[in-house]
Amino acid sequence: MAVKDLTLSNLILSTEDEVTPKVLNAMADTDDARIHEITTALVRHVHAFIREVRPTETEFEQGLDWITRLGQLTNESHNETVLAADVLGISTLIDLINNDGMQGETMSALLGPFYRGESPPCGFGQSIARSDTDGESLLLIGRVLDTNGAPISGARLDIWQASPVGLYENQDPEQADFNLRGVQTTGPDGRYLLCSVVPSGYPVPTFGPAGDLLNAQKRRPFRPAHVHFIVSAPAHKTLITQIFMDTDENMSDDVVFGAKSQICGKLEHHTDHHPDFPDVRTPYATCTYDFVLKPGEPTFPTPPISGKKDKENTNG
């Protein structure tokens, strides 16, 4: 625990320069060392930012209102707070600090605001399209391996993606509940295979404070086409990632800075029926990607949303 300075404790503030030491001193009794480290660094950096920018009182009010609206617009089918962290590059920075990909494991990517959890199971070769979804059929194919190249049996893949119109089912009352979401478990050969539709790139929601910021910064709100995966297995670190379509030209212009060349799947187009899955309508595409998990403790993210927008709700 930090030691309190009695002179600062007894000081009654009168100048700008006295504020930061007085606030830090007031926090000195924090028992939890990590909370103390985080909160004192926060105060030092935020106060330094304020000294640099010297906001007016009106700008301060506007800043607080921007943060207030993040909470007000967050509900079961939309998470504006996560979206704001994503467009500011905060989520990708935290992701890369915690996941450097240096042990041969697949690179991770940010979770994003649209992970719902509780998706229905999807057997090998089954489809995650639960609505009549236009667009080219897609087979997502690959294996889950450990860092020695051995297949992982019983690995769990939690998958979600936007429809070809660029909306996740939680945003779109026209799509069935859990459309384009599913969970598949690998067999002894570590293989997964599921049917879907080729995703398109899409704009992130811009009706709230995150969108106001993008607008002011003259930024395109687009994400390149991708499919989200959470891949987990006992005794392995859970991988949260996205597989990008190698045909998308906008890989370097991702509004949330998540696209990486290491996590591009190979998209191939086919006109003949698939020999093992003749029900897949032609022409169809395949996207092939092998995931590599490193040893570790599995952990699971808290879903940023839990449900679907209804027809009356205009947000999200």
Contacts with ligand BEZ, residue ranges (CB under 6 A): 83, 86, 112-114, 204, 223, 256
* Shortest distance (Å) from residue 316 CB to ligand BEZ: 11
Name the closest residue to ligand BEZ (Cβ): 112
Q: Output 113 or 316, the one with its CB closest to ligand BEZ.
A: 113
Q: How far is the CB of 248 from ligand BEZ (least distance, A)?
A: 13
On the 0-12 / 13-18 / 19+ scale of CB atoms within 10 A, 252 is: exposed
End-to-end CA distance of the chain: 44
CA 77 remoteness from chain centre: 15
What is the DSSP secondary-structure string of 107-119?
Answer: P-----TT----P
Looking at the Cβ atoms of 204 and 230, the one nearer to ligand BEZ is 204
Q: Nearer Cβ to ligand BEZ, position 97 or 102?
A: 97
CB atoms within 10 A of CB 257: 20
Provide the β-strand partners of residue 192.
142
Nearest approach in angstroms of CB 46 to ligand BEZ is: 24
Residue closer to ligand BEZ (CB basis): 83 or 240: 83
Structure tokens at 65: 């209102």
* Alpha-helix runs per DSSP H in 106-162: none
**Beta strand 181-185 pairing with 264-270:** unpaired
194 within 8 A of 185, measured Cβ to Cβ: no
Min CB(85)–ligand BEZ separation in Å:
9
Smallest distance from ligand BEZ to CB 258, Å: 7
Nearer to ligand BEZ, 86 or 169 (CB): 86
Measured from the CB of residue 195, what is the shortest distance to ligand BEZ in angstroms?
Answer: 20
Query: Least distance to ligand BEZ from the beta carbon of 215, Å?
Result: 16
Burial of 6 (0-12, 13-18, 19+ CB in 10 A): exposed
For the chain, the C-alpha Rg in angstroms (whole number) is 23
CA nearest to 103, candidates 237, 9, 273: 237
The smaller minimum CB distance to ligand BEZ, of residues 202 and 284, is found at 202
CB 24 within 8 A of CB 45: no
Looking at beta carbons only, is 139 or 210 nearer to ligand BEZ? 210
